[in-house]
Amino acid sequence: MPEPRFVAACVQMRSGRDPLVNRDAAVASVREAARAGAQYVQTPEMTSLVERSRASLFEKVGPAESDPTLAALREVAREAGIAVQIGSLAVRNGDKVANRAFLIDAAGEVLASYDKLHLYDVDLPNGESWRESSTYTGGTCAVVADLPFASLGLGICYDIRFPALYRALAEGGATVMTAPACFTQQTGEAHWHVLHRARAIETGSFMISAAQGGHHEDGRDTYGHSLIVDPWGRVLADAGGAEPGIILAEIDLARVTEARGRIPALGHAKPFTVTRVGREA
């Protein structure tokens, strides 16, 4: 029996400070992707709100069950009969906010959710400083979610820098990995493509990541270049820059079997210890 094929799409956005404007943009783009033949559509991290001010963020977000973007995209998924992965939404979680992804099935039901495990606390060479942990609460559980045509490993943005997570997702049955993002311009130029190709090659999996792109209302600049990469590390689709839009590619899961058969690295992994020598006491 041949392995499944499906058409995947990434929605590239430039989300601003108004959640309802961002919601409408996401809905229009997901509908456009569905009309173009996509059976699975992914939006970027922070689909509904890109807001650096902690006070403004807390004024605009609430619990997941009342989030207008989640409700709207559930309806679009049901109407179009497609799967929709919301790269992430900011939702209230006690005295902090969760950076949470949602996978919606073709009936409009939330099949899975995932809270970003690794929080972006960094100081960059150009003076940018980010402390996600001051506002967001990190997740504790990796998630593999089964659609009728693929098993998805859920990740978000900074997660892509942690290969152990993606190996665990592959070992847990995922054949398609995701890292929807709001990647900074500086780090995106240096690392975005190579990280995606590396995670795809290491796990013999597809990588599908929708991205934010351009100059945002809160002052940040994001890299764009939404990507779809095959298990051999070949780029199947690249948004090519920072402008909003959609990209599509056919996902043939036979390529996963081929890649993992040619280089069975997942099965070759073995435990080891590290010995350090040569350092004076």
Q: Which residues are catalytic?
A: 45, 116, 157
Tokens of 140: 């504790």
Task: Round to whole Å and give the CA distance between 216 and 131.
Answer: 18
Spatial contact of 248 and 37, defined as CB atoms under 8 Å apart: yes
Q: Name the residue type at position 168.
A: A
Sheet strands (E) in 94-175? 96-104, 110-115, 121-123, 129-131, 136-137, 143-146, 151-154
What does the CA dihedral 85, 75, 136, 94 come to, rounded to 10 degrees? Answer: -140
| CA distance linking residue 47 with residue 70, whole number of Å | 10
